[in-house]
Amino acid sequence: MSVRKLKPITPGQRFRVVNGFDAITTDKPEKSLLAPNKRSGGRNSQGKMTMRYIGGGHKRKYRIIDFKRDKAGIPAEVMSIQYDPNRTAFIALLNYQDGEKRYIIAQNGLQVGQKVVSGDTATPDVGNAMTLSNVPLGSIISCIELRPGQGAVMARSAGAFAQLVAKDGKFVSVKLPSGEIRLVLAACMATIGAVSNSDHQLLVSGKAGRTRWLGRRPRTRPVVMNPVDHPMGGGEGKSAGGHPRSRNGIPAKGYRTRSKTKASNKYIVERRKK
């Protein structure tokens, strides 16, 4: 994986850094795994705007991703590594021995022609999925379930990975990308390896229009709003907005909003670093 810095032949390209797409092997998605993806524009069923700064953007088809990896013991060959407009990570098309095709989140180092497998018979190789109880200590993992059979919910974005740091009975300790160490049931599935496209964080869009293509509209700064619209609004000229806070008054810098009685608190061994 690599990035390319473009020559400044236009103002929009002067600072632009683009993905080299070295890992991508095809630009044709598997038609049987595509689904319609309707945009809401931030509107609810009555047509009223309930989320600001959403709208427009390029039309997309949703790629149906197998987050559960529940075809246990059946080897699959990686047919291609593809771009997915709905996520930052790349995806891999698998062709199982029984003829079924599925998309998965591609791990870093996954190659076309490589064989991957899931279940208790899997070895701890990149792209294989197995229960956390079978993963060796210290392994780099991604696409982790939080409840058995739920499907992967943690460490799914570009370059993300977690580390298995301890095993204790029916729980294992996992160090998450945020730095938090959390207990997860050992029966949950995880995939070996870090998520692909780790260079995503180095990209620079170069112009505002590229953000519009992603479906994001311009965001109004609270300081330029009126007092009726935001606690930080109002005042003559460029006056300071007071203490940084959200639209409904919650402080923005370091204020703890997590409930002290939240049920999952007991599973957190060490909080994320500030």
Q: Cα separation of 24 and 55, whole Å?
A: 29
What are the boundaries of each domain within the chain? 3-201
Q: Cα separation of 60 and 34, whole Å?
A: 10
Predicted TM-score (pTM) of the model is 0.93
- State the pLDDT confidence band at 273, using cuts at 50, 70 and 90: confident
CA angle 110–96–159, rounded 5-degree value: 25
pLDDT digits (tens, 9 = 90+) for 69-123: 999 999 999 999 999 999 999 999 999 999 999 999 999 999 999 999 999 989 9
134 closest CA partner among 108, 104, 164, 154: 164
Q: Which CATH number fits domain 3-201: 2.40.50.140, 1.20.1440.230, 3.40.630.190, 2.30.110.10?
A: 2.40.50.140
The rounded percent of the chain whose pLDDT value lies above 90 is 94
pLDDT digits (tens, 9 = 90+) for 30-39: 999 999 999 9
Predicted local distance difference test score (pLDDT) of residue 237:
85
What is the token pair recorded at 163? 């580390």
- State the pLDDT confidence band at 241, using cuts at 50, 70 and 90: confident
H helix or E strand, kind and range, residue 130: strand 129-131
Q: If DSSP states are collapsed to H, E and C, what string results for 60-96?
A: CEEECECCCCCCECCCEEEEEEECCCCCCCCEEEEEE
Taking the alpha carbons at both ends of the chain, their separation in whole angstroms is 30
pLDDT digits (tens, 9 = 90+) for 9-23: 999 999 999 999 999
Predicted local distance difference test score (pLDDT) of residue 1:
61
Q: What is the maximum alpha-carbon separation in the chain?
A: 70
